[in-house]
Amino acid sequence: MYTGMLHTHTTVVLLFVVLYLIKTILLFVNTAKLEAFAKKTRVAEMIISTLFLLSGLYLALNTPSINAGSWFWVKLIAVFASIPLAVIGFKRKRKPLALLSLALLLYAYGISETKSPRMQKADYFGALAGENQQSTEGFDPMSDGYDILAHGAALYANNCVVCHGADGALGKAGAKNLQGSMLDKNEMAALVRKGKNGMPGFKGALNDEEVFAVVAYVKANISSANPH
């Protein structure tokens, strides 16, 4: 359900932005065509707007990581601010207002993709664990006393628990149950780096040693299938 709603939201957001982009272009080049286009797409715009809001509300209520920083609320403000600006801009042919509305929508889309008001993914990853953030200082993969499982446990707590849960079976935001994972370590590492559906890709946020530390922890302590 969550994954389907996520894809629906992404699709309608893109349609919404494209619709406003076309209307903004027409406002600048041919207002008569703008009025004709707006009339023809009025019903479609209402459907897209409704799906936009309903799918966004569903994701807000079912994504535990939504409060990792202020990104969601900044996005929400940008979206809701863009709507009256667009209505006034297109109705009264106010080009600056239409441009500002489009800029706010594009900004909201950028926030949604990066989950950061600054559009820096590191902001989101750094806030995932909240007050339960564990220190990962002192773990040196090159040292003789390096404990990969302890390192992996701290990284898992900071980046994965919010959706997968401590036992790997929480299933929030469409997260897969890790207890029955049949992936080998390389497949699991690739998934951590790239992400899938509601799971963000951690490439750039975690280096190779950290990725494999998380994988080692999951396979040793959570995955009952535990293929190597």
Assign 3-class secondary structure to the chain: CHHHHHHHHHHHHHHHHHHHHHHHHHHHHCHHHHHHHHHHCHHHHHHHHHHHHHHHHHHHHHCHHHHCCCHHHHHHHHHHHHHHHHHHHHHCCCHHHHHHHHHHHHHHHHHHHHCCCCCCHHHHHHHCCHHHCCCCCCCCCCCCCCCHHHHHHHHHHHHCHHHHCCCCCCCHHHCCCHHHCCCCHHHHHHHHHHCECCECCCECCECHHHHHHHHHHHHHHCCCCCCC
Q: 42-77 pLDDT, tens per residue?
A: 999 999 999 988 998 888 888 877 777 788 889 989
Tell me what pLDDT residue 226 has.
53
The whole-number average pLDDT for the span 156-181 is 92
Q: 116-151 pLDDT, tens per residue?
A: 999 988 888 888 888 888 999 999 999 999 999 999
Tell me what pLDDT residue 224 has.
67
The whole-number average pLDDT for the span 161-185 is 92
How far apart, in whole angstroms, are the C-alpha atoms of residue 124 and residue 129?
A: 10
Beta bridge partners of 203: 206
Q: 116-125 pLDDT, tens per residue?
A: 999 988 888 8
